[in-house]
Amino acid sequence: MDKQTFTEQVQGMERSLYRVARGYLAADADCADAVQEALLHAWAKRSTLREPRYFRTWLTRILINECKTMLRKRARVQPADPAALPEPPPPRDDSPLRDALDALDPRDRAPLVMHYLEGYSVRDIAQLTRLPQGTVKCRLHRARKRLKSVCQEEAFDDEEK
């Protein structure tokens, strides 16, 4: 795959890649880092792509692996001094939907984002995440149920005000 084709396809997927990363990672900076790392890996390994028509799936799988690697690294790092913890990021002015999505477990949020925002089928998500289709369906169901619950709680809170 030549540089121009790679660049054109990546530019067409830029927002999609960010949303998939957002399904796994909470911080915007982490999402941007994961996308950049995935693009670096993809560029270095572009010659291993056998079928150019699967570029989107291939790159998404690389991104998912990168997100999982970041989560594993973060779980291993523990500061010795509680005062050494970084300050939490300032609150954002995001939509209530973003807040509801952030309230979901990342294991459930990622398939939900991939299915409803990115348009992947259950079979595609199962292949990308290397999970059985039944597990993906279960996670989608659980995420929809939790999302509905969170949205109803917010609507109830708004009515009380």
Q: Are 16 and 38 in contact (CB under 8 A)?
A: no
CATH architecture of the region 1-90: Orthogonal Bundle (1.10)
The listed range with the strongest mean pLDDT (20-24, 25-29, 157-161) is 20-24
Q: Residue 62: which of 107, 30, 26, 17 has the closest Cα? A: 17
Q: How confident is the model at residue 80 (pLDDT cuts 50, 70, 90)?
A: low
Q: Is 9 exposed, middle or buried (0-12, 13-18, 19+ CB in 10 A)?
A: middle
CATH number, domain 95-161: 1.10.10.10
Q: Residue 106: which of 17, 22, 16 has the closest Cα? A: 22
Tokens linked to 79: 């500061």
Count CB neighbours of 101 within 10 A: 21
Question: Is pLDDT of 76 > 80?
Answer: no
Whether the predicted model's global pTM rises above the 0.75 cut: no
Say how far apart CA 105 and CA 138 lie, in whole Å.
13
Tens-place pLDDT, residues 42-69: 999 998 888 989 999 999 999 999 999 9
User: Looking at the chain, how many residues does it have?
Assistant: 161
- Counting residues of the chain whose pLDDT is more than 90, the rounded percentage is 47
Q: What is the pLDDT of residue 155?
A: 66
Here the contacts of 26-33 (C-beta below 8 Å, separation 24 or greater) are 26/102, 26/106, 27/89, 30/70, 33/70
Q: Are 108 and 146 in contact (CB under 8 A)?
A: yes
> Which residues belong to CATH 1.10.1740.10 in the chain?
1-90
Tens-place pLDDT, residues 90-136: 555 557 777 788 888 888 888 998 898 888 999 999 998 899 999 99
> Which residues belong to CATH 1.10.10.10 in the chain?
95-161
Residue 114 identity: M
- Average of per-residue pLDDT values in the chain: 84
